[in-house]
Amino acid sequence: METSEIRRRFLKYFEDRGHTVVPSAPLPSEDPNLLFVPAGMVPFVPYFVGQQTPPYQRATSVQKCVRTLDIEEVGKTTRHGTFFQMNGNFSFGDYFKEEAIQFAWDLVTKSQADGGYGFDESVLYASVYYEDDEAIDIWKRVAGLPDDRIVRLGMKDNFWSMGVPGPCGPCSEILIDRGPQFGADRDWEAGDRYLEFWNLVFMQNLRGDGPGKEGYEILGELPSKNIDTGLGLERVAYLLQGVDNMYEIDEVFPVIARASELSGKKYGENPVDDVRFRVVADHVRSALMLIGDGVTPGNEQGGYVLRRLLRRAVRSMRLLGYEDPSLPELLPVSKDKMKASYPELEQGFARISQIAYAEEDAFRRTLTAGTSIFDLAVSKLKASGVTTVPGAQSFQLHDTYGFPIDLTIEMAAEQGLEVDTEGFRTLMAEQRERAKADARAKKLGHADTSGYRELRERGITEFTGYSELATDSQVRGILREGTIAPAAEQGEIVEVVLEKTPFYAESGGQIADEGQIVADGVKLQVLDVQRPVKGLIVHRVKVLEGVLQPGADVHAQVDREWRISACQAHSGTHVVHAALRQVLGPTALQSGSYNKPGYLRLDFAWGSSLDQATRSEIEEVSNLAVREDLPVSAEYMPLARAREIGALALFGETYDEEVRVVEIGGPWSRELCGGTHVKHSSQVGTLTVTGESSVGAGVRRLEAFVGMEALRFLGRERALVRTLSENLKARPEELPARIADLVERLRVAEKEIEKARAGQVLAAAAELAANPKDVFGVNYVGHRTPDGLGGGDLRKLALDIRGRMPTDRPAVITIAGVSDGKPGVVVALNDLAREWRLKAGDLVRIAAEALGGRGGGKDDVAQGGGTDPAGVDQALAAVEHAVGQSVTG
C-alpha cells in the first residue's frame, strides 16, 4: 500500500466518523520557541491549553513535521529522519478513551478490502500507563487482548505532558511484534522488535512543576478531557510495504535508487555508503518540503537548518563519488513521489527548484573556498605545534563560510588533527539561544500567556480600522509584564486590551499603527500593537497623563498621516509584486515582505541579480499601474474559493477557512492579505525602486519608497546630482563619463604610488643588508618601517634583505611596522641561521607577544601581528635578545 493511500484512508476513516479534516499547518512554527512543527498535535495546542475555543469537537489531520535534533544521526540508524508525517485524530471534550481505542483498533485491523490497514491481530500489543486500569479494561473488551499482550509501563514511557505545567495524561500505544530477527522476546526497551506505531494520549490531568518526563506532581483532573493521537505515517508505510525502515518506502527510496545510478555505487553493499545514501534521501525530501512551505536557505533559524540539510545532501553525493550538480537529478524524483499527497509541490516546483539549485551552486563554490581557508588554518596550527582545531575556528568556518562541521572533522583527521567539537557545539548552542531569544522578544517578550488567555476568554477584540481611524471603546484589561494589573499610572509602559480598536496589529509584513488613546484625565501613547493570541489585539502604551483603570471609556485615535503612508506602502508592495511577475514571469513569487509608512521591501524567489534595465522596467510597470488609478477592493471568501480564483498566498503562512482577498485592478493583483490599503492605486503616489540585493540562495530583495518618501528620496538624489555637476563642472548627462574618467586617473595614480613605494622598500633593503648588527656571530637586522606598510610589504622587504645578506654567516631579519593602526611583524632566516637551530616561527611568536597578538609560520620565514602599536620597538628588541640567548645558551 502506497504511503499516499495510507494517508488517504486515515483521513477518510475519521471524516466518516464526524471529524473535521484539518489541512497540515506549514512547517515553520508560529511558536517562538520552535523553529518547525515537531509533532502532529502542535497546531492544536491553543485548543488543548485553553488559549482558543476549538471550532470543532472532532478533528483529524496529517501534519508535516520536522525534527532537527537528530540531523547528525540521520542515516546511521534506520529510524532517525528529519521530515516525517504524523496522522492524528483529536477530540476536544467530546469522546474519550473507549472511542479512541475503538477507532484505532478498528482502522488498524480492518481488512484492506474494507478500507482498513489489515494488520494481523495476533502480532499486535498494547502498552498502557501502569496505573491506568481503565485503559486495560477497554483493550480487553474492545480488542480482546489477553493480559500477556498488554504491557504496563511507567511515567517515562507512557505518560504525556508538554514538559511544563499544564495538561497531561496517560498514554496507550499500539505495538507490533516484528519477529525474533529484530530482537529478544518481551524486550520492550530495545524498540526494534516491538515497534510502536500509534500513540493514544488521554489528556485528563493537570501537572505541576518538575522534570520534563517524570517526577512532577499531578494536581488533579481537567474539567474537559481531550484525545490526542499520533500514527507515524512512515512507520506504517514500511510495515505495510514489507521493508525494514523508512528509507526504503515508496516516498523515499526512489531518491536512493537515482543516487545509486549517478554514483555507480550500490545501496546495501557498503555500510558507510549506505549512511550517505540515506542522508541524501532524507535531506532532499526534507529540503523539498521546507522550501515548499516558504523556508529559504540562510544563516539564521529555519533558513540555517535548510541550508545545512541541502549542503549535507550535496556533500554526501560528492563522498559517494558524484562530482556534478546533484540536486537537479534528485529533487524532481522526490517531488514526483510526494506530489500525490501534496499537489502544491508540483505547482510551485519552479520556485522550489530555483532556490535549491542556487544553494547547491553556492555551496560548490564554498567547498572550494572553504577548503583553502581550512588548509591555511591547519598550516598555522601545525606550525604552532597545536594538534586540535579550536571550536571557535570550526564555528567560524561553519557560520561564516558555510563549511559543515563533519567535513571539518573529516579533513582534520586526514591531517592528523582533532577538532574541539565540544567548543563548537557550545558556540552553536549559544547562537541558537540568541536566535530564540530574539524571536521571543518579537512576540512581546512574555513566555507566560496566561494573562492574554484570560482576557481572550472575555471575548475577541473587534478591529474597526478598515473603515475608521477613530473608535470609542472600553478598556477590557491592563497587563504589566504579561500579568493582569489593576491600574497603570503616569510614566508606566503597559499593555492594554480594548473591546474594539482601530489600531492595526503588526502582521503580514505591515508594522503596527501609531497614535493615542485618551480618556477622562488620561492620555496614552501607543508604541506597538500585537496579537499574542488569536483574536486578541494588545496595545503597548506609555501612560502620558493620569491613571488608567479597567472598564474606562476611551477614545482610540490612529495617527492619520501614519496610516495613510502605511496604506501606500502596503498597497505599493502588492503593486511591485504584480509588476515583478509581469516582468520576470510567474515564478517570481513573494517569499516575505516588510512595509512601514513610506517604505517597502519585498523578498522574492529569483536566482540572479536584476540588471539596471530590469529594475527600471519593474519601476515603470509599477508606476503605470499607479497612474491607471486601478480600483483596490477587499472581500472575504472561503479559502477554497480564493485558491480557485488564483489569489496568491504567502508561503509558510497559516490561513483560516475564511480569508480576505485584496485585489488591485481585479486579476492583475489578487492576494490573500489582512493589511490596510488605499482605495485606488493612484493613492500610492510616486514609487521609486531604491535597491536590489541578495538575502540568500535563490532569494532577492527589492526596496522602494512610495508617496512623499519617494519624492523626498528623489529630491535628495537631485540635490546630489546638482552638487556633483557644480563640483565637476559638468552637465548631469556628462557625469557618468566624467566620474569614470576620474576613477581611471585615480587607478593609474595609485599604481604609480605603489611602484614608488616598492622602489623605496627595495632601496631600504640594500642599505639595511649592508649594515647588520653583530649578535654573537649572527648578522641581525631589526627595522621599523614607516607607518602604512602592510604585511605584504613587510614580507617583501624581509625577504629582499635576506637575499642580499652574505651566506657565510647566519642571518636573522626582523621587520615590523604599523598599518591602519595594527602592528605586524615578519622574521626571515637564512639557511645557516636554521643550522644554528634558530627558527623563524619561534622568534615571530616572541615578537607578536610584545604586540599583544600571535604569530606563526615556517622555520625560514614567519609572520605575526597584534593589537598594540606601541609594542613595535619592544618586539624588535625582544627578537634580538632571543637570538642572543639562543646562540650563547
Residue 712 resides in a domain: yes
Shared-domain flag, residues 423 and 472 = no
* Amino acid symbol at 738: R
Residue 728, in any domain of the structure? no
Task: Report pLDDT digits (tens) over 334-385.
Answer: 999 999 999 999 988 988 998 899 889 888 877 776 777 777 778 878 888 8
What is the predicted pLDDT for the residue at 766? Answer: 86
Residue pLDDT, tens place only, 806-845: 999 999 999 999 988 889 999 999 999 999 999 999 999 9
Q: How confident is the model at residue 191 (pLDDT cuts 50, 70, 90)?
A: low
747-771 tens-digit pLDDT: 999 888 877 776 776 677 888 999 9
In degrees and rounded to multiples of 5, residue 670 shows phi and psi of -140, 110
Is the CB of residue 213 less than 8 Å from the CB of residue 35?
Answer: no
**Claim to verify: residue 607 and residue 710 sit in the same structural domain:** yes
Q: Is residue 765 a contact partner of residue 800, using CB atoms and an 8 Å limit?
A: yes
Contact 349, 292 (CB under 8 A): no
Name the binding residues: 570, 574, 673, 677
490 lies in the same domain as 347: no
Q: Is the dihedral of CA 371, 373, 379, 382 positive or negative?
A: negative
Residue 35, pLDDT > 90, answer: no
Please check whether residue 473 lies inside any domain of the structure: yes
The C-alpha R_g of the chain, in whole angstroms, comes to: 34
Cβ atoms of 677 and 510 within 8 Å: the answer is no
Mean pLDDT of 66-94: 84
- What is the average pLDDT across 488-517? 94
Q: Please say whether the beta carbons of 519 and 553 come within 8 A.
A: yes
pLDDT at residue 880 greater than cutoff 70? yes
| pLDDT one-digit tens code per residue, 449-471 | 678 888 888 889 999 999 999 99
Residue 684 lies in a domain: yes
Choose the weakest-confidence range: 512-521, 535-544, 850-859: 850-859
Which has the closest alpha carbon to 224: 57, 88, 60, 104? 57
* pLDDT of 541: 96
Largest CA distance in the chain: 105
Phi-psi region of 115 (alpha: psi -120 to 50; beta: other; left: phi over 0): left
The angle subtended at Cα 786 by Cα 782 and Cα 787, nearest 5°, is 120
- Specify whether 355 is located in the same domain as 323: yes
Do 83 and 231 share a domain, yes or no? yes
Q: What is the pLDDT of residue 606?
A: 85
Residue 575 and residue 541 share a domain: no
The last residue of one of the domains, among 535, 558, 581, is 558
Predicted pLDDT of residue 664: 96
Examine the domain organization and report whether 225 and 302 are in the same domain. no
Task: Output the domain CATH number for residue 823.
Answer: 3.10.310.40
Q: Is residue 13 part of a domain?
A: yes
Decide which of 526, 558, 590 is a domain's last residue.
558
Percent of the chain with pLDDT over 90: 60
Mean pLDDT of 665-669: 93
Percent of the chain with pLDDT over 70: 94
- Indicate which CATH number applies to the domain containing 660: 3.30.980.10
> Which of 644, 691, 591, 677 has its CA nearest to residue 294?
591
* 421 in the same domain as 297: no
Task: Decide if pLDDT at 734 tops 80.
Answer: yes
Instruction: Assign residue 385 a region (left: φ > 0; alpha: ψ between -120 and 50; beta: otherwise).
Output: left
Minimum mean pLDDT among 244-248, 544-548, 674-678, 712-716: which range? 244-248
Task: Give the C-alpha separation, 483 to 550, whole Å.
Answer: 14
From 320, 335, 366, give the residue that closes a domain: 366
- The DSSP code for 691 is E
What lies within 8 Å, CB to CB, of 813 at 6+ separation is 780, 781, 783, 798, 801, 802, 805, 827, 828, 829
Residue 491 confidence (pLDDT) = 93
- Does residue 825 sit within a domain? yes
Name the 3-class secondary structure at 432. helix
Residue 234's domain is classified under what CATH number?
Answer: 3.30.930.10
Q: How confident is the model at residue 446 (pLDDT cuts 50, 70, 90)?
A: very low
β-pair partners for 600: 595, 704
- For residue 413, name the pLDDT band (cuts at 50, 70, 90): confident
Residues 579 and 543 in one domain: no
> What single letter denotes the amino acid at residue 486?
P
Q: Is residue 198 scored above 70 in pLDDT? A: yes
| Distance of alpha carbon 459 from alpha carbon 720, whole angstroms | 55
Grade residue 443 by pLDDT with cuts at 50, 70 and 90.
Answer: very low
Grid coordinates representing 526 are 501607543
Which of 26, 90, 30 minimizes the C-alpha distance to 56?
A: 90
In a domain, 299, yes or no: yes
Find, among 559, 552, 517, 522, the residue nearest to 538 by Cα.
517
Collapsing DSSP to helix, strand or coil, 445 comes out as coil
Closest CA to 575 of 651, 446, 673: 673
My answer on whether 633 and 505 are in the same domain is: no
Domain count of the chain?
6
Provide the pLDDT for residue 653: 63
Same domain, 87 and 184: yes
Annotated binding site for Zn(2+): 570, 574, 673, 677
The least confident of 271-285, 595-609, 784-798 is 784-798
CA angle 873, 879, 884 (to 5 degrees): 130
Whether the Cβ atoms of residue 189 and residue 162 lie closer than 8 Å to each other: no
User: Domain limits at 415?
Assistant: 376-442
Query: Does residue 698 have a pLDDT over 80?
Result: no
Please compute, for residue 201, the number of CA atoms within 13 A of its CA located in the half-sphere on the CB side: 25
pLDDT confidence bin for 440, thresholds 50/70/90: very low
| Under 8 Å between Cβ of 215 and 293 | no
Vertex 377 angle, CA 862 and 402, to 5°:
150
Specify whether 468 is located in the same domain as 539. Answer: yes
Residue-level pLDDT at 315: 86
Instruction: Determine phi and psi for 268, rounding to 5 degrees.
Output: 100, -5
Residue with cell 514609487: 687
Q: Does residue 753 belong to any structural domain of this protein?
A: no
pLDDT category of residue 190 using cuts at 50, 70 and 90: low
